[in-house]
């Protein structure tokens, strides 16, 4: 299950999390973001931790991480950004973000 995030959830589930978590920066009006959602649901169902951040509702997080295009996926490990991907990508590329 993809966790719908906000400032409090982002701090708890991403910044203070020990391990890998993928953050999906998106917006409800974004077509590619809507296309990516079921793919992210599938990745999460396979045991990967994913937090979704709506850039319109949580602008401060988006600004902090310089999100200028969406969808934007950022992989965090132990609270630090380690990988980034912008745009619609297939499931195998999303899963490969979690690999070393």
What are the catalytic residues?
30, 33
For strands 3-4 and 72-77, give the pairing: unpaired
Distance CA 48, CA 87 (A): 20
């Amino acid at each position: 299950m993809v966790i719908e995030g906000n400032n409090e959830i982002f701090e708890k589930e991403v910044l203070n999390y020990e391990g890998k978590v993928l953050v999906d920066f998106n917006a409800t009006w974004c077509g590619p973001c809507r296309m990516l959602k079921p793919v992210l649901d599938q990745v999460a169902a396979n045991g990967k931790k994913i937090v979704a951040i709506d850039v319109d509702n949580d602008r401060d997080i988006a600004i902090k991480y310089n999100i200028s295009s969406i969808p934007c996926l950022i992989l965090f490990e132990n609270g630090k950004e380690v990988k980034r991907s912008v745009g619609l990508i297939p499931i195998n590329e999303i899963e490969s973000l979690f690999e070393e």
